[in-house]
Structure 1
Amino acid sequence: MFRVGDLPEPIAPEKLAKLAECETATIGHFLHSQFMDPQLGAVIPERRVAGTAVTVLVPPVDATIMHYAIGHARPGDFMVVDRAGDHRHACWGGVVEIAAHIAGVVGAVVDGAATDYEEIRRTGLPVWCRGPSPVTGKRLGISGAFCVPVSCGGVMVNPGDAILADESGVVVIRPDQIDWVVEEALRRQTAEPGIIARLRAGEKLHMITGAGAQVEAALKRV
């Protein structure tokens, strides 16, 4: 059985561009959930992208819906692939990578395996996954879902969410969170060079951050 929902409203390109200036690790200083399992690693290092989540539920073995989804992808989309627990069969490889790149997809996260790493790196569309596998999905035409809520890397993802991914990991940002997340992340990133300059000038980290005062206050309470 197949389920196909409506494509989500794309997030404004200017919002995605600002989000892509933020490091996932910076967001990790103030947001504690919505981060996918860190075992989902980047196939192409040193890349950071942000896009509109377009979701796919690819059941074990049957990769038919993956081809359907790529055929309906749009520029700016970020493919989020729920593999329903299958970590053996790769549903993303060289041909899917090229088709997605031609469609304007900005990135993909697969909660399972991918294949054809060399071709993925050569094509340049960033992919995050659990690792490589030479065993690929088959077009059995049995079941799958497109543009429905999915679970990827332990996080619920709805079509139309924002996805930010870099070498540190993948985070899901709800549309109503984007503005304040960007503001806070960029504020912290702007402040960081000043902290580094103070460290190089001889100040100690615990004095700059206040951790020293926190520990000393806690010791006095014992």
Structure 2
Amino acid sequence: MDRYDIHPMPKPASPDLLARLSRLHSSTFGHTHLWGFCRRDIRPLGDCTPVAGTAVTLALPGPDSSLLHRVLAELRLGDILMIDRLHDDLYACVGGIVALALKQKGVAAVVVDGPVTDLSEIASIGLPVWCRGASPLTTRRLDLGGRINAPVGVGGTVVHPGDLVLCDADGVFVLPPDEAEAAILQAEAREAWEFRIVAEVATGHDLADALKAYPPR
């Protein structure tokens, strides 16, 4: 059996949908969806600006990062690299040099279901990273295998290449492209409703009265 499962790059998501998605909050989708959320232990490194992009998926086994170097050559402006570490929690597959390479490619963010390393370097480079902490123990090129642009599991949720991904201070949300338009419209309506409720409460109205005047959408 071939150790490698490699597929073509996905079609980029609609720039308009990504722009609209980036203006929303992952927590808004938490009111409208029950799935698509990475576990809460996948956190941003430092302060972060919300980003949205097209998922490019990668699965790396344990200490091996051979395929990471291959996918680097194919990444595009605005992609979000979603890395499944296949249950490994010891080896950091992203460090300062890889972060610099990703930044130079115009990658919007990287989400790692595991640790990274060189935190100060990553911070100075300015690459948005969501991960599960840090480790000084790093991957290397061992030719063990892996997958590019196949379905993967990141933070307990399934990610397909071409999915829309929203990363912000609250976490990571993954949205299939065929559901994106309807889901984004629903979230935009929800945030407009929340804005009205906040305005009512901020001017001294009781929350219960505000909710009666403007029922949840």
Confirm or deny a common fold (TM above 0.5): yes
Determine which of 30, 43, 46 is the counterpart of 2:45.
Answer: 43
State the partner residue of 2:110.
Answer: 108
What is the RMSD of the two structures over their aligned residues, measured on CA atoms?
1.4
Q: Which residue of 2 aligns with 1:217?
A: none
Q: What secondary structure does 2:166 align onto?
A: strand
Q: Which residue of 1 aligns with 2:215?
A: none
- The one-character-per-residue Cα deviations of 1:156-175 (angstroms, maximum 9, x if unpaired) are 11111111110100011000
Within the candidate set 99, 124, 129, 2:131 is matched to 129
Bigger CA drift: 198-207 or 113-122? Answer: 198-207
Structure 1 stretches lacking a partner, 5+ long: 211-222
Q: Is the aligned partner of 1:153 residue 2:159?
A: no
Specify the alignment match of 2:143 in structure 1: 141
Range with bigger deviation, 115-124 or 163-172: 115-124
Aligned partner of 1:15 in structure 2 is: 17
For the pair 1:206 / 2:208, whether they are aligned, the reply is yes
Contact 2:48 2:128 in 1 (8 A): no
Report sequence identity in percent. Answer: 37
1:11-42 per-position Cα deviation (integer Å, ceiling 9, x unaligned): 12122111111110111111111101010000
Tell me the secondary structure at the aligned position of residue 182 of structure 2: helix
1:118 Cα shift?
A: 1.2
Q: Which amino acid aligns with 1:187?
A: A
**TM-score using structure 1 length:** 0.91
Q: Report SS of the residue matched to 1:141.
A: coil
> What is the one-letter code of the residue matched to 1:82?
D
Aligned position for 1:174: 176
How many angstroms does 1:204 deviate by? 2.1
The structural deviation recorded for 1:149 is 0.7
AA partner of residue 137 (structure 2):
V
Which amino acid is the alignment partner of residue 121 of structure 1? A
Query: In 2, Cα distance between the equivalents of 1:96 and 1:46?
Result: 19
Q: Deviations over 1:106-161 (max 9, x none)?
A: 01110000111111111112110000111100111221111111011011111111
Tell me if the contact between 2:45 and 2:128 (Cα under 8 Å) persists in the aligned partners: yes
Counterpart of 1:187 (choices 186, 189, 202) is: 189
Deviations 1:27-82 (A, max 9, x none): 11111111010100001323101111000001000111111111211111110000
Q: Is the 8 A contact 2:45 2:131 kept in 1?
A: yes
Aligned residues: 211
Distance in 1 (alpha carbons) for counterparts of 2:191 and 2:79:
26
Rg: which structure is higher? 1
Q: Is the CA contact 1:90–1:132 (under 8 Å) kept in the aligned structure 2?
A: yes
Cα deviation for residue 10 of structure 1 reads 0.7
Q: Is contact 1:62–1:139 with CA below 8 Å preserved after alignment? A: yes
Amino acid at match of 1:201: T
Matched with 1:84 is: 86
For 2:126 and 2:47, the matched residues in 1 are separated by 10
Q: 1:75 aligns with which of 74, 77, 101?
A: 77
- 1:188 is displaced (CA, Å) by 2.0
Q: Distance in 2 between matches of 1:200 and 1:170?
A: 29
